Amino acid sequence: MANDDNIPLNRRERAALSPAKRQSIIKNLFVEHDRFKDAITAIGSFHMPVEGGDPDFGVLTTLCGDSRTGKTFTLERYAKRFPASDGTRGVIRRVVYCDMPIDCNLRAMAEQIADALNFPHSQRLNTRGLVGAVLLEIKKQAVEFLILDEFQEAFDVSRKKNLRDARGFLRKILNLRSLNVCAAGLVETYELLAADAKLKGRGLLPHHLLHAYEWDDPADQKLFRLLCASIDDRLPFRENSNLGSIALAQRLYWVTDGVIGILKEFLFAAACRAMNADADRIEMHFLADAWDVRKPIGQTFNPFVDDLKDAPSKEEQTLPKPPRNKFDDGIFSKK
């Protein structure tokens, strides 16, 4: 399942690397897990619906899912498969990835796409001119697939003008009839796009949902365990940490809700502790220590120490109100 670039395949060789190299292996670990494979296949089909056929055009597609489920990671990896090349009339960029800046408006959206196309633009060019130039550049660079990540930033219902502009710009790009667009973001983004008849009409909005793993679903539970085992296989420790065993995977699930991004961060934290102790593997107490400094304030339960049947419910896990500041007694806020 796991597959990575430039990492020694032998566990002992990896464990013998310098601390910095071992740290970097864990931080940059790539796992070709089930959700990733499904998502990258879906993205590929949004770009080229027929294997060995031509790129499609004029269709708006979406990739959505909860935060940290791996949307950006997957999209960037897909885009890397298509490096820029030199054509007879200049640079060709078949697949362009760009992410929308926070609270972006039409200008910021156009600037971000221009940057991804490596197209210089000046503040003197008005927004209308910039949008036109970006559309021309998309054609000129023969872009086949434009990925707009973090699209919820451009599709914010509370900012009506921006929303209208973003919709209009998307339609103009699709009307070029030379490329497909993939808007990626949180699930609400899909709902907003789907509610726009003009956009939905451009290809019926094919979408892919990147879900977290579900422990209660037996098939998913197996996949989550496989993911944990696969990360374990790639770690730079002399011995396997048995992360894919039911006992450990279930505890890791409890901490991470089956979300790859959270799992990776948590294991990184525990692995750092294990490296500092020159341990042969990530022992349970390193996981316990890592959770101790990450659990919600006021919570005493630790899944790596306590029995899971005593675990608090998710509602109970919400952060308690911070203790009142002793100076915050209302005196200073009185008018």
Ligand X SMILES: Nc1ncnc2c1ncn2[C@@H]1O[C@H](COP(=O)(O)OP(=O)(O)OP(=O)(O)O)[C@@H](O)[C@H]1O
Q: Secondary structure of 259-280 in the HEC alphabet? A: CHHHHHHHHHHHHHHHHHCCCC
In 3D, which of 14, 25, 4 has the Cα closest to residue 240? 14
**C-alpha distance across the termini of the chain, in Å:** 63
- 245 near Mg ion, rule: CB under 5 A: no
Q: How far is CA 218 from the centre of its chain?
A: 25
Nearest distance in Å: CB 10, ligand X: 21
- Gap between the Cα atoms of 141 and 150, Å rounded: 23
DSSP 20-34: HHHHHHHHT--B--H
- Contact region with ligand X (CB under 6 A), list: 27-35, 47-55, 128-136, 286-294: 27-35
Interatomic CA distance for residues 76 and 164, integer angstroms: 27
Query: How far apart, in whole angstroms, are the C-alpha atoms of residue 181 and residue 173?
Result: 8
- Compute, in degrees rounded to 10, the torsion defined by CA atoms 181, 185, 191, 194: 0
Question: What, of Mg ion, ligand X, none, does residue 264 touch, CB below 5 to 8 Å by kind?
Answer: ligand X
* In contact, 147 and 138? CB cutoff 8 Å: no
Could you tell me the smallest distance in angstroms from the CB atom of residue 222 to ligand X? Answer: 17
The reply on whether position 66 binds Mg ion by CB under 5 A is no
61 in contact with ligand X (CB under 6 A): no
Site for ligand X in 255-294 (CB under 6 A): 260-261, 264
With CB under 6 A as the rule, give the number of residues binding ligand X: 16
Q: Which of residues 117-176 bind Mg ion (CB under 5 A)?
A: none
Cα 157 from chain centroid?
A: 23
Q: Which of 45, 72, 127, 317 binds Mg ion (CB under 5 A)?
A: 72
65-73, 81-89, 121-129, 133-141 -> range binding Mg ion (CB under 5 A): 65-73
Chain-centroid distance of CA 278 in Å reads 32
76 vs 217, beta carbon nearer ligand X: 76
Q: Which is nearer to ligand X, 97 or 119 (CB)?
A: 97
Least distance to ligand X from the beta carbon of 290, Å? 16
- Kindly state the helix (H) or strand (E) to which residue 80 belongs, with its residue range: helix 71-80
**How near is the Cβ of 22 to ligand X at its closest, in Å?**
16
Query: Closer CB to ligand X, residue 9 or residue 50?
Result: 9
Q: Give the max Cα distance, the chain.
A: 73
Give the shortest CB-148-to-ligand X separation in angstroms. Answer: 13
Site for ligand X in 293-332 (CB under 6 A): none
Of 174 and 235, nearer to ligand X (C-beta) is 235
Distance CA 286, CA 274 (A): 6
Single out the residue of 16, 19, 41, 67 in contact with ligand X (rule: CB under 6 A): 67
Q: Are 119 and 69 in contact (CB under 8 A)?
A: no
User: H-helix or E-strand containing 162?
Assistant: helix 160-175
Indicate the residue among 131 and 229 with the shorter CB distance to ligand X.
229
Question: Smallest gap, in angstroms, from Cβ of residue 264 to ligand X?
Answer: 5
239 vs 265, beta carbon nearer ligand X: 265
Distance CA 133, CA 125 (A): 10
Q: Residues interacting with Mg ion, by CB under 5 A?
A: 71-72
Q: Residues interacting with ligand X, by CB under 6 A?
A: 29-31, 33, 36, 65, 67-73, 260-261, 264
